[in-house]
Every structure is written in structure tokens, then in C-alpha cells.
Structure 1
Amino acid sequence: MSDCVFCGIVAGDVPAFRVADEPAGVAFLDTRPVFKGHVLVVPRTHLITLTDLPVDELADYFGLVQRLARAVEAGLGAGGTFVAMNNKVSQSVPHLHTHVVPRTKGDGLRGFFWPRTRYADDAEATSYAERIRAAL
């Protein structure tokens, strides 16, 4: 879709700090991360919710999400990850996307009231993207 920012990222028309670009989907840093290293994973096709994802694409898509969860943990030295997806309600971009958020014990994340932060600059964001990409 021409007006979908995630479709623009997939197409390469909208800049993003990519950490993966595969047939199953594209992964990139969230511009307003819960914690630095917060990745969004999107399918290449414009789909709005999880229920729109064809059954024959589930294994490849969630295989990519699973590998990114492992990479975020290993690449950033995180204690674990929080993996989540909104469908319609609280879905800020109407394109299916899965959040992979690095977690550490005592990081302050409580329930669904997520604090947001920003990268200091593009160099810092690039560093996070490279570390995750290297761990893939």
C-alpha cells in the first residue's frame, strides 16, 4: 500500500535501521523503542492483523520472529525478550508487526504502560541494528 509506512520500509522507499531482510519479512529498529534494541518484524505483504497472515506463512514468519528474539538477547546481552503484537486496538501502524523488546531484570517495564526512549543519534541506532544483525 502506498500510504503504509511499513510497506515503504519493506520496499526501501522509507529509511529504517534494518536488522533483517528475508523472504518471510523485514525487521528494523522501532523509532520510539521501549528499550534500545526494540525491533519490529513485519511481513513483506501488507496485512493488517495476525488473522490475515496465511497459515502457510506462519512458520516462516514466526521462525524469523523467534530468530530475532534470540539475536536481540545474544547481540545485546539482554536477560530475555518481550515479544508482543497488537491487532487493531493500539496498533499504531495498520500493518501486521511483532515487537521484540530486550529485557533485563529490574528494567522497570510494568504491565503495558511502556516507557519510551530515543536513540541519541543515528550512530547509536546503527550500532544497535548492527549488533542484532551480527547475532542473526
Structure 2
Amino acid sequence: MDNIKAGGSAPEKEKSGEAIMCAYISISCEYVGEGEDEGKRLKVTGSGALYDSIPSFINVLKKPFGINSETWRLSGIDDQTAKKINGKLCWISGNRILVYRTNPIIKKKYLVDQYFAVNNWLTREEFNQALNQTRELIGEGGV
């Protein structure tokens, strides 16, 4: 986790699917909609390392300075939680979602949106606490 740096570009030509990220969470306000939907809302992003397979994760463990950083808009985190974890390094798991539309005239698909749908998250402090409790449990005689 110490080698994770915030930053990185938005992914290009990624595929949809499950993934985990070790990322810094940041929030900002964005203006959305017109009419009834008009207003400001929090935009939550995660910036850090994304792993879409076990082999890619193991390779980074072997060579921790070869981490590619990406930035994804996060979905599935409520405003209260987003404010709580803002600026923190977190492990997040979920799915990369790519939304395509097809141009009816030329019959070509094009990307209209991409985001990371978060299922679970764990801050660095929570991660360290879990490791400490596991170590204490094992030290007390195991499971």
C-alpha cells in the first residue's frame, strides 16, 4: 500500500468486469441536470492501482514499483461515507462498468460512460486493524 500514488489517467479501452483497487478517494462537487434533476452532487473518484486478475496483482507484489495508476469515477458510495473516507487510501472491490451506445446510422458502438461500481471498501486503518486482530488471534492459539 505504501507504493500507491494518487494520479493516473482515466482508463482507455478497458473491458468491463470485476476488479479491485488500492486507491486514494477524493470528492468534489459537480453540477448536474436540468429541471427537476438540477443541482449539485458529490462526485467520488478513486485514484490508484487497479487489479483485474490475480496474476496482475501477484506481479505487482513481485515488482511493486511497476504500478500503473488509473482514475475511476466511483458509484455505490453514499455521500456520508464519501465524506468520511475522502483523502484516505482504501481497498475497494467491485466492477468496472463501460456503457456503450450504437449509432443507428453507421451501426458503430461508442463509449458513453465508464465508472467503477463499488461493492465493498476498507480504509488503510481498517485493513491494518484486521491484520493486527488476525495476528493476535493466531498468537493466542489459532482458530
> Is TM-score (shorter-chain normalized) higher than 0.5?
no
Structure number with greater CO (CA < 8 Å, separation at least 6) is 1
Q: Which has the higher strand share?
A: 2
**TM-score computed with the length of structure 1 as normaliser:** 0.26
Q: Which has the higher helix share?
A: 1
